Amino acid sequence: MSTLLELKTEEEWNQHSASVPPTTLQIIYFKAEWAAPCKQMTTVLQTLASSYPITEPLSTSWVALDAEDVPDVSDSFDVTAVPFLVLQRNGQVLETVSGSDAMKVRAAIEKHANSPSTGAAVNGATASPANNGAAAKNLSNYAPTPQDPATAPEMSTAEIKEDKESLHKRLSSLVKAAPVMLFMKGTPSAPQCGFSRQLVALLRENSVKYGFFNILADDEVRQGLKEFADWPTFPQLWVDGDLVGGLDIVKEEMGNDPDFLKAYSVAKTAPAASTQPTATATA
């Protein structure tokens, strides 16, 4: 059976990528250790990998990379949030899946692993999962509640409450993922709104080390956080799991107390141009 291989460095990735045959479907998984959804997705991919046989030549390759540890690789695949999955064959990206929808991930992998146009047939057998029914059964615990009102079955009040509680539990972990967490539109290197851009600049000016989450990449978080925080707009800055507020509130706090975020700043030991604070990868 195949396994999910953890690669720690860009050198390990380059060596692995160079060794994979061009006909192999590469399942490349970007994660972050602190992001709760990644723990679930890791289990999902480990289960899926175990259902695919090891063939000669290799039909599928499964690797996991911490997005923060391999920034150049992450940038090359345009990773802006985690978990993030890339399906690639012969150097060509076939599909990407962002978020923790286990069934969407499974469907994408099966589609490209079983596609007759990809040359995935090996010795007269396609590279389909071994014991696929068992894999589907194992993944059933991770299936999201259907969202399409045209096809979704009616949910009971108890199911709606449980679904909401699950989201709130996820958000509770996410706002504490780093001591300072910024929920913004876009990423620090490519903000998608002026307020997010200004707040990123303010944190950088004060050398604050922070984690961030691109709310445009996950609508569940985007909508859920409005109710969870009782704050309808973005960006939102959280410190030690507590909401500070948006740009205006942060500016006001900094104006009243210049040391407001000093405890979370990175000491400057070199000229300012080389001491940009580190922004943690997204959830």
Percent of the chain clearing pLDDT 70 (strictly above): 77
How many C-beta atoms lie closer than 10 Å to residue 28's C-beta? 23
Cβ-based neighbour number of residue 180 at 10 Å: 22
Whether the ω angle into residue 235 lies within 30 degrees of 0, i.e. cis, is yes
Condensed to tens digits (0 to 9), the pLDDT of residues 3-31 reads 999 999 999 999 999 999 999 999 999 99
- Which residue is associated with the tokens 């690639």? 88
Are the C-beta atoms of residues 88 and 53 closer than 8 Å to each other?
Answer: no
DSSP string, 70-126: -HHHHHHTT--SSSEEEEEETTEEEEEEESS-HHHHHHHHHHHHH-GGGT--BTTB-
Q: What pLDDT, on a 0 to 100 scale, did the predictor assign at position 115? A: 62
Please tell me whether residue 244 adopts helix, strand or coil conformation: strand
242 SS3 class:
strand
* Measured torsion, CA atoms of residues 35, 40, 45, 47, in degrees rounded to the nearest 10: 150
Q: Is the pLDDT of residue 98 over 70?
A: yes
Mean pLDDT (the chain, rounded): 77
In this prediction, residue 94 has a pLDDT band, given cuts at 50, 70 and 90, of very high
Whether the pLDDT of residue 274 is over 70: the answer is: no
- CA-CA distance, 35 to 40, in Å (whole number)? 10
Burial 211-234 (b: 16+ CB within 10 A, else e): bbbbbbbbebbbebbeebbebeeb
Q: Kindly tell me if the per-residue pLDDT of 256 is higher than 90.
A: yes
pLDDT tens for 180-239 read: 999 998 888 888 888 999 999 999 999 998 888 888 888 888 888 988 999 888 999 999
Report residue 40 as tokens: 């679930």
What is the number of residues in the chain? 283
Give the pairing type, strands 242-245 and 236-239.
antiparallel
What pLDDT shows up at residue 58? 86
Q: What is the pTM of this model?
A: 0.47
Structure tokens given for 178: 């780093």
Give the pLDDT band of residue 36 (cuts 50, 70, 90): confident
Distance CA 177, CA 174 (A): 5
**pLDDT, average across residues 147-165:** 45
CB 191 within 8 A of CB 185: yes
Integer Cα distance of 125 and 159 in angstroms: 42
pLDDT tier for residue 126 given thresholds of 50, 70 and 90: very low
The two structure tokens encoding residue 175? 């706002």
Residue 251: pLDDT band (50, 70, 90) is very high
pLDDT at site 278 = 39
